[in-house]
Amino acid sequence: MKLIGNVELENIQKIKSGKVREMFSLDDKLLIVTTDRISAFDYILQSLIPYKGILLNQISVFWFDYLKDIIENHIIETDFNNFPKELKKFKDIVRGRSVIVKKANIYPIECVVRGYITGSAWEEYNKSGKVGDFTLPAGLKFADKLPEPIFTPTTKEVSGHDISITITKAKMIFGTDVVSYLQKKSIDIYKKASEYALKKDIIIADTKFEFGNIDDRIVLADEVLTPDSSRFWFLEEYEPGKQQKSMDKQFVRDYLLSSSWDRNSVPPELPEDIISKTSQRYMVAYEKITGKKFSDFLNS
């Protein structure tokens, strides 16, 4: 199966190209194609990760279905066999890595939920004892589980790094009712998914959601609980106070941080072993979460 970077579909209008996903117009619907690109530190890396787009898409498809009792989502069709006939000639590009969705007005806010303290939250806690709006207990160790999951929204920037904002500020921008709803649904989704993941030997340390509006209804959109949008840790190796073994793109971030790259220039290409190990980590996440063998999908 070939690697997919930039996607062009003849006679089908591309309307947006994100860091990883390409969006195409299908009349009143959208086709979202997940590529094998990977981003880190707000850069799209030169290297492609084998199978990454398919793995991300299939993980999201699983979660959209699993969480549909909590909130409506934007999914219309996930099975390539049921895609419109004009897409059939692009089978080698879109099969497995694409979904057809309803058009939604996406809220420009990243709904971040944290169940464990790590990353930028750890840095903020060390400085102030707080993360976002929340004062946390003293004496927490790196990667400790929080007493309760917390909602720490950020802006959704077109380019550059998303900026953390307080819930109060978010309510001023988007309205109290909308943000209160997004906060409740984000926490509910995180809790249900986390309980499921623990049974599969995965800790979901934190994650981020995107929501949109369709006919005055708020729906879950974009991607859900993937190794790109979440931190997935191996439960059996979890140990507070140290860096956790992960099955997400933190592995790539850690490699880049250990390299001589200055984070202000074009990132270097990833070595073959880092590419291979990243692909393997995403594959492990897929198989643990869905309970399916990825080889079975490839052979189907």
- Tell me: the pLDDT tens digits for 25-75? 999 999 999 999 999 998 999 999 999 999 999 999 999 999 999 999 999
Distance set, CA 297 to CA 38, 289, 294 (Å): 22, 14, 5
**pLDDT of the residue at 166:** 93
Contacts of 57 (CB under 8 A, 6+ apart): 34, 96, 97, 98, 99
pLDDT along the chain (300 residues), means of 10: 94 96 97 97 95 98 98 98 97 97 96 97 96 96 98 80 88 96 98 98 98 97 97 97 94 94 94 97 98 93
Domain ranges for the chain, please list them: 1-103, 106-247
Which residue intervals of the chain are DSSP H helices? 52-66, 91-94, 119-128, 167-174, 176-199, 250-258, 272-290, 294-299
Find the distance separating the first CA and the last CA of the chain, reported in whole Å: 13
CATH class, domain 106-247, is alpha beta
How far is the C-alpha of 251 from the C-alpha of 277, rounded, in Å?
9
Distance in angstroms (rounded) separating the CA atoms of residues 77 and 94: 13
Rounded distance, CA 100 to CA 80, Å?
A: 9
DSSP 99-110: EEEE--EE-SEE
Round to whole Å and give the CA distance between 164 and 155: 6
Closest of 236, 197, 205 to residue 142, by C-alpha: 205
Q: What is the pLDDT of residue 300?
A: 87
Give the closest residue to 210 by CA, choosing from 198, 221, 225, 201: 221
Q: What pLDDT does 161 receive?
A: 67
pLDDT of the residue at 219:
98
57, 34 contact by CB (below 8 A): yes
Q: Distance from CA of residue 143 to its chain's centroid?
A: 20
Predicted local confidence at residue 223, as pLDDT: 97
1-103: CATH superfamily: Phosphorylase Kinase; domain 1 (3.30.200.20)
The two three-digit tokens of residue 189, written as one number: 């989704």
Least Cα distance to 158 among 26, 55, 16 occurs for 16
Q: Which two tokens stand for residue 296?
A: 């079975």
Q: Give pLDDT, residue 163.
A: 86
